[in-house]
Amino acid sequence: MKRLLFVIPVAAFVALAFWFAAGLGRDPGYIPSMLINRPAPQFALPPIAGRARGFASDELMDQVSMVNIFGSWCASCEIEHPVLMEIAAEKIAPVYGLDWKDKPGAGAAWLGKRGDPYAAIGDDADGRVAIEFGVTGAPETFIIDAEGRVRHKHVGAITREDWRRVLKPMIEDLKKNAPAAD
């Protein structure tokens, strides 16, 4: 009986080692989205400088779309931009933009130099809408289904791989299963 007590430390350690091993592959900083399968937040954002049209959440209804959070200050958005242009050109789903925490005019100038992939852009200067989306950095992209629910969150720049293997199939799938518009 007493011998059993002495086995406890090594047994506990073995369990711990397995836990550590399992933990090695994970990213401790990755936070899954709270919005998955929930309705997208309601908002109505003004346009960015030089545009007439802003971006409101009712545009997300009755179509499958993507919402991309970006900013002129964001280095990874720079890297993602050409891919977004290609995605927009494919015309599979509209890409909406949320200009996050940008100084007035900065977002428009940034897009002017690089091209504009967005169907509409909302100016989220105070970052409140981004908080509603649970955004923790740029770029982040959400896939919204035809009923206005968030179905997927992509953290970081979208690569051509990501589009081909994950995002595009998901969007096409959602479009197929979308209820017919009245």
- For residues 84 and 51, give the distance between their C-alpha atoms in angstroms, rounded to a whole number: 19
Options 46, 47, 54, 127; binder of other proteins; rule CB under 8 A: 127
- Which of 97, 122, 108 has its CA nearest to residue 46? 122
52 binds other proteins (CB under 8 A): no
14 binds other proteins (CB under 8 A): yes
- For residues 143 and 105, give the distance between their C-alpha atoms in angstroms, rounded to a whole number: 27
For other proteins, which is the closer residue by CB, 44 or 131?
131
Options 58, 131, 159, 173; binder of other proteins; rule CB under 8 A: 131
13 binds other proteins (CB under 8 A): yes
36 binds other proteins (CB under 8 A): no
Ordered DSSP codes for 32-91: --S-TTSBPPP-EEPPPTT-S--EEGGGGTTS-EEEEEE-TT-HHHHHHHHHHHHHHHHT
Instruction: List beta partners, residue 65.
Output: 144
Type of residue numbered 14: V
Within residues 89-108, the interface with other proteins by CB under 8 A covers 101
Say if residues 142 and 34 touch (Cβ distance below 8 Å): no
Please state the closest distance from residue 43 (CB atom) to other proteins, in A: 13
For other proteins, which is the closer residue by CB, 12 or 44?
12
For other proteins, which is the closer residue by CB, 10 or 180?
10
For other proteins, which is the closer residue by CB, 41 or 46?
41
Say if residues 124 and 100 touch (Cβ distance below 8 Å): yes
126 binds other proteins (CB under 8 A): yes
- Which of 179, 142, 157 has its CA nearest to residue 34? 142
Residues that bind other proteins (CB under 8 A): 2-3, 5-7, 9-10, 13-14, 17, 19-26, 28-32, 34-35, 101, 126-128, 131-134, 136-137
